[in-house]
Amino acid sequence: MFNPDTPSGTATRNFTLSDFDFVLPPELIAQHPAAERSGSRLLDGTGEAPVDRIFHSLPSLLKAGDLLVFNDTKVLKARLFGEKPSGGKVELLVERVLTGNQVAAHMRVSKKPEPGTTITLAGGEGFCATMLGRWPDKDGTLFRFVLSNDAGDDPYTLMERHGHMPLPPYITHTDSEEDAVRYQTVFARAPGAVAAPTAALHFDEGLLAQLEAQGVQRASVTLHVGAGTFQPVKTENIAEHQMHSEWYAVPEATQQAIADCKARGGRVVAVGTTTVRTLESWAQSGLATGDTRIFITPGFVFQHVDLLVTNFHLPKSSLMMLVSAFAGYEKIMALYQHAIAQQYRFFSYGDAMLLSKMSPDHVAI
């Protein structure tokens, strides 16, 4: 666990998993969103000392010519409940929609059905899933199903009609109508995620209009957030961790917007770690679309992002490592201790923080 009395030494430090652990009082895990999206708290970590703000004050921290980059993915109602022919209960979490009405899904079941088994979903109504095997290969961790109903609807339609919002494992209530609205950004466009890009949940139409009027520009990328985002890193040697794969795209218009922003001396402000992972995957690979397993840890050199809006992340998670790489390990751990002391709300429905990129002279290696 972080020790605030430890002298700064990130320039030569070899980090292990334990370095990214911290004790979080369970009552700080937000179970419901704030009454208003932009009414969440915002911990301003851009200066020497942390400043407690409200999220709707974000425009005062940005300037004309800056570029906000959002992840426009849309969360699917990807959790499906059903039963096997034997009557045994099955829960599917659709991770990816494939071609031919097929999906790749996590499966929770007492005894795995054999390939060819048809599972009745959503209490019947002609909606079923036929298991074909594992995905992406015979040793894959996901399972491939064909979703079908009597009307021949596609998987997106079937999930929207019969599925449940895939709330994170630390949210204890079953999904509700409130979650269907609030666990989705106001600009969600491209269906495919099983988790929300949560930093963007704080933006409402009024705040977006205020930012636009101020001259802060806006662009979008897409990264379909997978369930692996909630998985803790389990290897003490973090270099041994295998990242999950997620599909991303950086449109040509966004590529141009970033180039224009840099040319005019503006700052690229990534909204959420998924946007960071998308932009830096593009920078690293040169590919504007594809699958990424990028794992950002201290020592990483960021090529595109100057500022980051982000929520507070799980202990021992790859996202704790990402924000530590971005803003500096000691800085992040001090901000987290401040947030806990000041009773900030944590995780997906929690509060946010604003971070600036650490100077290259201080990048940990």
pLDDT score for 3: 37
pLDDT score for 10: 41
Query: Does residue 361 carry a pLDDT above 80?
Result: no
Query: Does residue 363 carry a pLDDT above 80?
Result: no
Average pLDDT over residues 311-320: 96
Mean pLDDT of the chain: 93
CA separation for the pair 103, 97 (Å, rounded):
4
pLDDT digits (tens, 9 = 90+) for 102-156: 999 999 999 999 999 999 998 667 899 999 999 999 999 999 999 999 899 999 9
pLDDT score for 232: 82
pLDDT score for 230: 81
pLDDT score for 8: 37
The single-letter code of the amino acid at 271 is V
pLDDT digits (tens, 9 = 90+) for 15-61: 999 999 999 999 999 999 999 999 999 999 999 999 999 999 999 99
pLDDT score for 362: 56
Over pLDDT 90: what percentage of the chain?
A: 90
pLDDT digits (tens, 9 = 90+) for 199-214: 999 999 999 999 999 9
Instruction: Report CA-CA distances (Å) from 2 to 95, 241, 276, 311.
Output: 34, 21, 25, 19
Q: Which residues pair with 248 in a beta bridge?
A: 223, 290
Q: Are 74 and 189 in contact (CB under 8 A)?
A: yes
CA separation for the pair 125, 127 (Å, rounded):
6
Strand order across the 41-44 sheet: 51-54, 41-44, 352-356, 307-311, 268-271, 67-71, 217-223, 246-249, 289-292
φ and ψ at residue 201, rounded to 5 degrees? -65, -20
Q: Are 348 and 230 in contact (CB under 8 A)?
A: no
pLDDT score for 123: 65
